[in-house]
């Protein structure tokens, strides 16, 4: 009888492990839609003469980032949760370790690595949109790999790892990666934009702002909706499916998918309504949907749904306002990425500090506090901005950051991509489009 019970228990554990693998497999698959969405979004937001380059750089960044995260990123996550001192567990994440390949006894590492790789790819896509129509393709790929396989995952080690110092010392709570993904990527993009400069024609001789319109706004809106679909995989990957069927957050707090279902949809709705109330523009309305989900993301597991809607509504208002303020300051963020991801990510952490102050973490970990969340936001802002600014400044000084003005005027597709976006279309592809 004892032997039969033991066999039954082993069978149940095996089935639970297989269920866990399948769950994260499909989360990862759905996350690929984020990158299909960003590709369509950025191609539509570009002018005709730059549209193919916008798509190609998204595909190339994803392709380069995957091996970069395999060789470097996963090791960083496991090596530096305590700061800059390498932990003992880092060796198991080295690319030559037995867990980093087909291993029938390990049903977790590969599938978690895949999900984290797609998280990293999301940071690269966030960066991509902000820089369209003037960055060198090679420069973008380098910056995307630095951000997606190095910078954000260091923030993940600090703020997402169960032993991360931001959790153990600050009680940091960021279940939906508002800080470790969106704030870091948004402020990395801001640092690059300062050195990259505005597109030719964006500002007049007296500082007047010229509107550079998307060549295909419907494509951009469809892309944004695909990103929303992909976010259900992204946020699904932020909850831990434990062997045995229990759900916890990445910090060990009990949770379930119902909380994520309520608050993701309320975040979408609040963000759309907030952005539309401020701008009345379709582009900002759909970008507001992203800003709303990101705004609710830090406290997604805890919020009462009307609170998530309120937080998201504010985030939806912040997005177009922040975008306009950056534009007036001379920062040409072509798709509002800094505002939608960076500013909304900061708001998400601050809002969670307001509404979750005193919320207990498990065990001896400190409670969530307002100051802990504010400090966490400041850390993520600096972690993104400093390397983004520093590396792009070095690239600018070497003349490898931005395409020459004559190439930008002609169109990047004519130089970077040996093809034409609309060869049989009546849409002219003149340099002044």
pLDDT of 427 over the 80 cut: no
Per-residue H/E/C for the chain: CHHHHHHHHHHHHHHHHHHHHHHHHHHHHHHHHHHHHHHHHHHHHCCHHHHHHHHHHHHHHHHHHHHHHHHHHHHHHHHCCCCCCCCHHHHHHCCCCCCCCCCCCCCCHHHHHHHHHHHHHHHHHHHHHHCCCCECHHHHHHHHHHHHHHHHHHHHHHHCCCCCHHHHHHCCCCCCCHHHHHHHHHHHHHHHHHHHCCCCCCECCCCCECCCCCCCHHHHHHHHHHHHHHHHHHHHCCEEECCCCCEEECCCCECCHHHHHHHHHHHHHHHHHHHHHHHCCHHHHHHHHHHHHHHHHCCCCCCCHHHHHHHHHHHHHHHHHHHHHHHHCCCCCCCCHHHHHHHHHHHHHHHHHHHCCCCCCCCCCCCCCHHHHHHHHHHHHHHHHHHHHHHHHHHHHCCCCECCHHHHHHCCHHHHCCCCCCCCCCCCCCCCC
Whole-number mean pLDDT of the chain? Answer: 92
> What is the mean predicted confidence (pLDDT) over 381-397?
98
Percent of the chain with pLDDT over 70: 93
Q: Where are the domains of the chain?
A: 9-83+90-416
CA dist 291 and 337 (Å) reads 10
pLDDT of the residue at 42? 95
Spatial contact of 382 and 184, defined as CB atoms under 8 Å apart: no
Which band of pLDDT confidence, cut at 50, 70 and 90, is reported for residue 418? confident
pLDDT of the residue at 63? 96
CA dist 269 and 182 (Å) reads 19
pTM: 0.94
| Residue of 227, 265, 236, 234 whose CA lies nearest to 33 | 227
Tell me the pLDDT tens digit for each residue of 292-306.
Answer: 999 999 999 999 999
Spatial contact of 155 and 77, defined as CB atoms under 8 Å apart: no
The CATH architecture of the domain made up of 9-83+90-416 is Orthogonal Bundle (1.10)
> What is the mean predicted confidence (pLDDT) over 136-151?
97
Which band of pLDDT confidence, cut at 50, 70 and 90, is reported for residue 432? very low
Spatial contact of 327 and 298, defined as CB atoms under 8 Å apart: no
Spatial contact of 306 and 285, defined as CB atoms under 8 Å apart: no
| Residue of 378, 373, 179 whose CA lies nearest to 295 | 179
pLDDT of the residue at 15? 54
Tell me the pLDDT tens digit for each residue of 223-263.
Answer: 999 999 999 999 999 998 876 668 899 898 999 999 999 99
First and final C-alpha spacing in the chain: 78
pLDDT of the residue at 431? 45
pLDDT of the residue at 104? 74
CA dist 224 and 8 (Å) reads 47
Tell me the pLDDT tens digit for each residue of 311-330.
Answer: 999 999 999 999 999 999 99
pLDDT of 428 over the 80 cut: no
pLDDT of 61 over the 80 cut: yes
Tell me the pLDDT tens digit for each residue of 157-167.
Answer: 999 999 999 99
> What is the mean predicted confidence (pLDDT) over 253-282?
95
pLDDT of the residue at 240? 87
| Residue of 259, 257, 262, 290 whose CA lies nearest to 274 | 290
Distances (CA, A) of 261 to 145, 220, 296: 32, 25, 12
CA dist 154 and 116 (Å) reads 12
Spatial contact of 146 and 391, defined as CB atoms under 8 Å apart: yes
pLDDT of 420 over the 60 cut: yes
> What is the mean predicted confidence (pLDDT) over 113-135?
95
pLDDT of the residue at 235? 94
pLDDT of the residue at 128? 95
pLDDT of 13 over the 60 cut: no
Tell me the pLDDT tens digit for each residue of 186-223.
Answer: 999 999 999 999 999 999 998 899 999 999 999 999 99
pLDDT of the residue at 81? 95
Percent of the chain with pLDDT over 90: 81
pLDDT of the residue at 5? 56
Burial 375-388 (b: 16+ CB within 10 A, else e): bbbebbbebbbebb
Spatial contact of 291 and 271, defined as CB atoms under 8 Å apart: yes
Spatial contact of 334 and 199, defined as CB atoms under 8 Å apart: yes
């Amino acid at each position: 009888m004892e032997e039969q019970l033991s066999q039954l228990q082993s069978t149940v554990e095996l089935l639970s492990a297989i269920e866990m693998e399948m769950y994260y497999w499909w989360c990862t698959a759905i996350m690929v839609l984020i990158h299909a969405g960003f590709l369509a979004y950025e191609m539509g937001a570009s002018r005709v003469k730059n549209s193919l380059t916008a798509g190609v750089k998204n595909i190339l960044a994803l392709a380069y980032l995957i091996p970069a995260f395999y060789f470097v990123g996963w090791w960083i996550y496991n090596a530096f949760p305590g700061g800059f001192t390498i932990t003992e567990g880092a060796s198991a994440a080295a690319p030559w370790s037995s867990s980093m390949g087909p291993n029938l006894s390990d049903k977790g590492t590969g599938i978690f690595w895949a999900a984290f790789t797609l998280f990293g790819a999301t940071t690269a896509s966030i960066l991509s949109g902000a820089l369209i129509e003037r960055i060198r393709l090679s420069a973008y790929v380098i910056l995307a790999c630095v951000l997606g396989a190095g910078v954000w995952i260091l923030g993940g080690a600090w703020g997402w790892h169960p032993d991360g110092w931001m959790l153990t010392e600050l009680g940091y709570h960021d279940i939906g990666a508002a800080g470790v993904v969106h704030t870091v990527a948004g402020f990395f993009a801001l640092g690059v934009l300062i050195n990259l400069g505005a597109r030719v024609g964006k500002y007049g001789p007296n500082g007047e702002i010229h509107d550079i319109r998307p060549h295909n706004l419907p494509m951009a809106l469809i892309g944004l909706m695909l990103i929303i679909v992909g976010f259900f995989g992204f946020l699904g990957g932020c909850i831990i499916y434990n062997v045995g069927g229990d759900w916890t957050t990445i910090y060990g707090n009990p949770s379930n998918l119902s909380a994520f279902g309520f608050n993701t949809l309320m975040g979408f709705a609040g963000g759309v309504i907030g952005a539309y109330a401020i701008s009345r523009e379709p582009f900002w309305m759909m970008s507001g949907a992203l800003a709303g989900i990101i705004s609710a993301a830090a406290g997604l597991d805890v919020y009462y749904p009307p609170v998530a809607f309120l937080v998201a509504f504010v985030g939806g208002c912040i997005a177009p306002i922040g975008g306009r303020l950056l534009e007036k300051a001379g920062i040409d963020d072509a798709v509002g990425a800094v505002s939608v991801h960076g500013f909304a990510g900061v708001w998400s952490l601050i809002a969670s500090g307001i509404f979750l102050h005193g919320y207990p973490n498990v065990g001896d970990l400190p409670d969530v506090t307002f100051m802990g969340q504010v400090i966490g936001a400041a850390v993520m802002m600096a972690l993104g901005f400093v390397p983004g600014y520093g590396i792009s400044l070095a690239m600018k000084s070497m003349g490898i950051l931005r395409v020459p003005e004559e190439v930008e005027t002609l169109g990047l597709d004519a130089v970077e991509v040996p093809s034409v976006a609309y060869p049989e279309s009546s849409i002219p592809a003149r340099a002044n489009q």
